[in-house]
Amino acid sequence: MPAKKVSTRTAVYYFGDGKADGNGNMKELLGGKGANLAEMTLVGLPVPAGFTISTEMCHAYEKAGHKLKPALKQEVQQNLAKVEKVMGKKFGDADDPLLLSVRSGSRASMPGMMDTVLNLGLNDISVEGLNAKTSNPRFSYDSYRRFIQMYGDVVMKAGAGLEHDPYHLILENYKTEHGYKSDLELKVKDLKAVIELYKAETRRLTGSIFPQDPLQQLWGSIGAVFQSWKTRRAQEYRRQNKIPSDWGTAVNIQAMVFGNMGKDSGTGVCFTRDPATGEKRFYGEYLMDAQGEDVVAGIRTPLPISRLEKANPKIYRQLYGYCRKMERHYTDMQDLEFTIQQGKLFMLQTRVGKRTGSAAVRIAVEMVKERLITTEEAIRRIDPDQLEQLLFPRLDPKAKREAVTTGVAASPGATSGEIVFDADQAEELGKQGRSLILVREETKPEDIHGFFAARGILTSRGGKTSHAAVVARGMGKPSVTGAEAITINLHAGTAIIGDHTLRKGDVITIDGSSGKVYIGEVPTVEAEFSKELETLLQWADKIAHLKVKGNADTPLDARRAREFGARGIGLCRTERMFNSVDRLPVMVEMILAETTEERQSHLDKLLEMQREDFTGLFKAMSPYPVTVRLLDPPLHEFLPNILELEEELHHARQLRLLVSDMDGKSQTALEVIDPDVRERCEKEIRSIHKKLNHLLTRGIGEDYILRKEKILAKVRALAETNPMLGHRGVRLGISFPEIYKMQIRAILEAAAICRKEKIEIHPEIMVPQVCTLQELIHVHSFLKELHPEVEQAYGVKVPYRFGSMIEVVRACMRAGHLAEIAEFFSFGTNDLTQATFSFSREDAESKFLALYNRSNILLDNPFEVLDQEGVARLMKIAIEWGRKTRPGLEVGICGEHGGHPGSIALCHSLGLDYVSASPPRVPVARLAAARAALARSTSKPAGKSAPQKVTATRPSRKANTRKKAVAAKK
């Protein structure tokens, strides 16, 4: 809402004693701080009086060659007179001087970027008056000392161009000369001496005398604040935060009040509700005869606000009333600062209080019940990122800890456990009920049993989309990946982080939400799924246009997704089913098969397993739809790594000699064998020795090596230069039709079994990596062949839908054609992002993405935040062309972005029907979907979360951000 237009004649806006020239909506003219002070005053809070010089004067000051015009000075003096009157003090008074603060305040928050002058009005005379009033000479002279320093620095630029702060040097030298170690040892006479040294140094450095005239001090300070708008750091901050340079800053001049003016003075902060739990109770702390700094410094322990009720019921009632009033006024929990000056209560600041995620949810839901806000507003209040905290175990905020290194925050949640370096061991120890963290350089599909056994996964390589990250997220287990500072030496059985050498069994803690790694156990707090959250998400579902589904590969996952509120499975990755311990060997045999018959017999075994999987999934998700993606990864992903195999084979061959011929000669061999090899392989030698001996006793010793050789040959034959662009997805399905046919049959048969039991199901078959209609036709022909067969065999009608992943760029270009057969599209934005940027997911994050982010070449990691200007444009084209062919075409997204709030907003604006996210992110997605529908999300780039601002609670501008986000700018 733009500020009410005010005549530009007025340059200065007074506030105080319940009256104000401005108001809270006038941020453009008065800056955020000025508008807020005016508003607080108007609402009736006892704000120390003051006035604001408008932002327009900033330009005028600049234009006038850094001079304040006489008219402005006159207005300031008129307003100063009002302040003096209200505060009952005179500026520069010798007995009880009015002191002022002079602060900047622009339309957007620029914390710490511009200058401030406090205690303005002190001079050699008025400092005595302050002393008389406070009976605290140390405070009074120290305030004067600080003022000189601040004024000298900010206004007179005494330190300009010097390497060290000249005032700081004087103080340090003085302390050294007098043998003081701390500022606290300075006595009043010392302070007086330092003041004189300061004044002399100011004169020496600037050629001017520190001004004793309070008005001269005031003009200087106002000019300095205006000038601070143009400092290099302020300009740099504006550039980074995209704040226009022509906004300018306002200047806020306000009477200072002091809480340390005796027993009837004090200071404190309070919250209208508990910021930790959200409970509706008046909460806060205060200290009498103290300043704000004393509370912060922790020298004295503040008292709970309830004590004030007994000590000073009148002030307490006033304060409580103001708090309630402000909460009602801003309709949000407030964080207020107050000062009692000689028995009079002043409110210094009120703002929306920061709060924990669970408090935010509870406050929002309770405020709806109190009819303070609407359900829509409640939804708008909760940042989806904040919600994430609640849904995963996190480190106890109270626990002390120091991270030893930080990797990629790959799968959220925190957990502790003993280090284990090997999936087999993890499985073994896991059976003994031990808490484990699997620590690897990187993980492979064959480590999957280690994932099941471990509580968390830590790797030294790979990003958010590495195997470890994706699998851990899918399972909802915490994971930190790419912690490159960790050197893992499998042979030595150590993980070295800096000076720490960790071994198997050592306990560590990982925080997958921050990427941090800790040595030892750090206590954690469990995830919460409160009834308030449940209520909030139900409201969200009513508001959202986007449906939220879950990514789930097993019935267990499906049940979890459903508990989190998923309305269907948007992506079931069938390859995950092949990765479990009992199935991988069958899969490997199938790949190694040399004849079609042999392959078919393994496929028959897999068929049974998959049929059971799908039956479970369909039942768990009934009556919602389940989208099954046919096999996607290249076959070599199911086979061991080529380098490991070669090493294994080499050792096995070396060992054959020793094991099969255990006489003196082999003993010699052991002695003369390359010591390097011997050392490196000692562990493997023992393990293979055992295995070989075992095999030998069964008389099949050679088989081990032969089999490894066979696998190696296959791995070599299947090897690809760029597997991500390789023989996978539908390409595989067309090359090995028997695999896709097996999967399609398993889906249809599972559906038939459910239908026989009268369970409502909606199976959807999805083809990955499609780039042309012909591929879809090809796979569809398998379906057309098998469907009637299955229906006949089971004697029931089997429903299904057939659709395409859209993850290849060409599929976007051919979307109009694909929609001829595809009944739905599901954007695989991981792969689509990869192909659009030509960035390999696995390489980019570790090689150059960090540099790109640091150098502002890319603001976000496109694998986390859906790229609005590239990937989303392709999606837009695909949706448009697809729906032109098939108006009812259902469109969803099943990439990692489906769980990212900013990306969900973009999906909403692109007109998608659903997003699919990993189960623990389903609630986040539900909230984000609702917020997107409210269409009041700010139009800032999807990746940056907004800093919480006072004005966030105001009805925000109704800019049609949805429209903006869709518009394909060039």
Task: DSSP letter for 197, please.
Answer: H
Q: Nearest 10 degrees: CA dihedral of 161, 162, 164, 169? A: -130
Please say which residue, 41 or 836, places its beta carbon nearer to a second copy: 836
Does position 489 interact with a second copy (CB under 8 A)? The reply is: no
In the complex, least distance from residue 215 CB atom to a second copy, rounded to whole angstroms? 49
Q: Which of 894, 900, 907, 908 is catalytic?
A: 894
In the complex, least distance from residue 968 CB atom to a second copy, rounded to whole angstroms? 9
Q: What is the C-alpha separation between 614 and 633, in angstroms, rounded?
A: 19
Specify whether 894 is catalytic.
yes
Residue type present at position 713: A
Please say which residue, 418 or 447, places its beta carbon nearer to a second copy: 447
Closest CA to 415 of 479, 325, 348, 492: 479
Closest CA to 386 of 420, 356, 425: 356
- Listed in sequence order, the residues at least 6 apart from 607 whose beta carbon sits closer than 8 Å to its beta carbon are 742, 745, 746
To which residue do tokens 């559906």 refer? 751
Q: What angle do CA 286, 291, 294 make, to 5 degrees?
A: 75
Please say which residue, 275 or 463, places its beta carbon nearer to a second copy: 463
| HSE, side-chain direction, 13 A CA sphere, residue 485 | 16
Using CB under 8 A as the binding rule, the residues of this chain from 860 to 919 that contact a second copy are 867, 869-871, 873-874, 881, 884-885
Q: What is the C-alpha separation between 214 and 220, in angstroms, rounded?
A: 10
Please say which residue, 333 or 630, places its beta carbon nearer to a second copy: 630
Specify whether 467 is catalytic.
yes
In the complex, least distance from residue 806 CB atom to a second copy, rounded to whole angstroms? 11
Q: Do 907 and 885 contact (CB within 8 A), yes or no? A: no
Q: What is the C-alpha separation between 280 and 6, in angstroms, rounded?
A: 39
Q: Which of 467, 636, 651, 900 is catalytic?
A: 467
Classify residue 748 by burial, with Cβ atoms within 10 Å: 0-12, 13-18, 19+.
buried
Using CB under 8 A as the binding rule, the residues of this chain from 96 to 155 that contact a second copy are none
Q: What is the C-alpha separation between 246 and 163, in angstroms, rounded?
A: 31
In the complex, least distance from residue 705 CB atom to a second copy, rounded to whole angstroms? 9
Q: Per-residue contact track with a second copy, 302 to 341, x per CB under 8 A?
A: ----------------------------------------
Q: Do 392 and 924 contact (CB within 8 A), yes or no? A: no
Closest CA to 366 of 354, 353, 377: 377
Using CB under 8 A as the binding rule, the residues of this chain from 665 to 724 that contact a second copy are 665-666, 668-669, 672-674, 676-677, 720-724
Please say which residue, 359 or 844, places its beta carbon nearer to a second copy: 844
Q: Per-residue contact track with a second copy, 810 to 849, x per CB under 8 A?
A: x--xxxxx-------------x--xxxxxxx-xxx--xx-
Q: What is the C-alpha separation between 754 and 23, in angstroms, rounded?
A: 65
Using CB under 8 A as the binding rule, the residues of this chain from 496 to 535 that contact a second copy are none
CA 470 centroid distance within chain = 17
Of the candidate residues 199, 727, 762, 954, the single one contacting a second copy (CB under 8 A):
727
Does position 857 interact with a second copy (CB under 8 A)? The reply is: yes
In the complex, least distance from residue 249 CB atom to a second copy, rounded to whole angstroms? 30
Q: What is the C-alpha separation between 704 and 649, in angstroms, rounded?
A: 9
Crossing angle, helix 126-134 and helix 137-154, to 10 degrees?
140
Q: Per-residue contact track with a second copy, 575 to 594, x per CB under 8 A?
A: --------------------
Please say which residue, 242 or 969, places its beta carbon nearer to a second copy: 969
Of the candidate residues 725, 759, 935, 966, the single one contacting a second copy (CB under 8 A):
725
Using CB under 8 A as the binding rule, the residues of this chain from 642 to 661 that contact a second copy are 642-643, 646, 650, 653-654, 656-657
Please say which residue, 377 or 447, places its beta carbon nearer to a second copy: 447
In the complex, least distance from residue 834 CB atom to a second copy, rounded to whole angstroms? 6
Closest CA to 437 of 899, 445, 274, 422: 422
In degrees rounded to 5, what are phi and psi of residue 435? -90, 125
Does position 343 interact with a second copy (CB under 8 A)? The reply is: no
> Which stretch, 303-311, 339-347, 728-736, 781-789, contacts a second copy (CB under 8 A)?
728-736
Please say which residue, 97 or 862, places its beta carbon nearer to a second copy: 862
- Listed in sequence order, the residues at least 6 apart from 740 whose beta carbon sits closer than 8 Å to its beta carbon are 630, 631, 733, 734, 779, 782
Q: What angle do CA 752, 754, 759 make, to 5 degrees?
A: 130
Cα first-last separation, the chain: 29
In the complex, least distance from residue 414 CB atom to a second copy, rounded to whole angstroms? 29
In the complex, least distance from residue 474 CB atom to a second copy, rounded to whole angstroms? 20
Please say which residue, 532 or 775, places its beta carbon nearer to a second copy: 775
Does position 807 interact with a second copy (CB under 8 A)? The reply is: yes
Of the candidate residues 74, 77, 176, 735, the single one contacting a second copy (CB under 8 A):
735
Of the candidate residues 125, 197, 592, 734, the single one contacting a second copy (CB under 8 A):
734
Q: What is the C-alpha separation between 771 and 730, in angstroms, rounded?
A: 9
In the complex, least distance from residue 737 CB atom to a second copy, rounded to whole angstroms? 10
Q: Per-residue contact track with a second copy, 764 to 803, x per CB under 8 A?
A: -----x-xx-xx--x-------------------------
Tokens of 334: 């407030």
In the complex, least distance from residue 940 CB atom to a second copy, rounded to whole angstroms? 18
Does position 663 interact with a second copy (CB under 8 A)? The reply is: no
Does position 858 interact with a second copy (CB under 8 A)? The reply is: yes
In degrees rounded to 5, what are phi and psi of residue 98? -80, 120
Please say which residue, 343 or 816, places its beta carbon nearer to a second copy: 816
Tokens of 568: 């269907």
Enumerate the active-site residues: 467, 894
